[in-house]
Amino acid sequence: MDIVIRQAAPDEYDTLGEITAQAYLQDGLLTFGETDWYLDELRNVAKRAAAADVLVATQGGQLLGGVTFVPSGGPMADLARPGEAEIRMLAVARSARGRGAGEALVRACVDRARATDGCTGIVLSTQAIMYAAHRIYERLGFLRAPERDWRPMPDHDFTLLTYELTL
């Protein structure tokens, strides 16, 4: 059965928010665990959908995961420069991993970026321990851009790695 990538529907926002939050929690990606401020952001799909494109991966009617695609100049961009799109909050439910949903979501973002007039590249942030995601990005042609690595919490020793793809 094929994986379908499409725009998230409002009635899926809560489910996708919980898939995203649990993926980050279960993978140990939140510095402060259940009390991490970012957990509310991960759950708030409606907020993301109002400012960017939220895509979901489904298979046989089951929601597998999602991603936020921020077009060039979008308000949700953390590090995109003019002419660059950004990928944020990629997450796949643990029970759905290994089926290709993550790669299909990233490919859909790359396709959207390529179809956007004036878009010259796509950028994303990732954590050092997100090895499976790194493999997807590298397989799709993204390159590490260590000069663009950044710290979202200046008071903490936590650095996000940057990958970029020139279109």
Q: How many domains does the chain have?
A: 1
Domain that holds residue 108: 4-166
CA distance 96 to 102: 10
pLDDT digits (tens, 9 = 90+) for 37-81: 889 999 999 999 999 999 999 999 999 999 999 998 788 999 999
Q: What is the pTM of this model?
A: 0.93
CA atoms within 13 A on the CB side of 164: 17
Question: Sheet holding 62-70: strands in order across?
Answer: 4-7, 53-59, 62-70, 84-92, 121-126, 161-166, 143-144
Give the CATH number, domain containing residue 51: 3.40.630.30
What is the CA angle 61-67-73, rounded to 5?
Answer: 140
Mean pLDDT, all residues of the chain: 94
Question: What's the pLDDT score for residue 74?
Answer: 84
CA distance 164 to 167: 10
Structure-block tokens of residue 138:
């590298």
Question: What's the pLDDT score for residue 157?
Answer: 76
Instruction: Indicate the pLDDT class of residue 137, thresholds 50, 70 and 90.
Output: very high
Question: What's the pLDDT score for residue 41?
Answer: 94
Find the mean pLDDT for residues 12-37.
91
Give the bridge partners for 57, in sequence order.
Answer: 5, 65
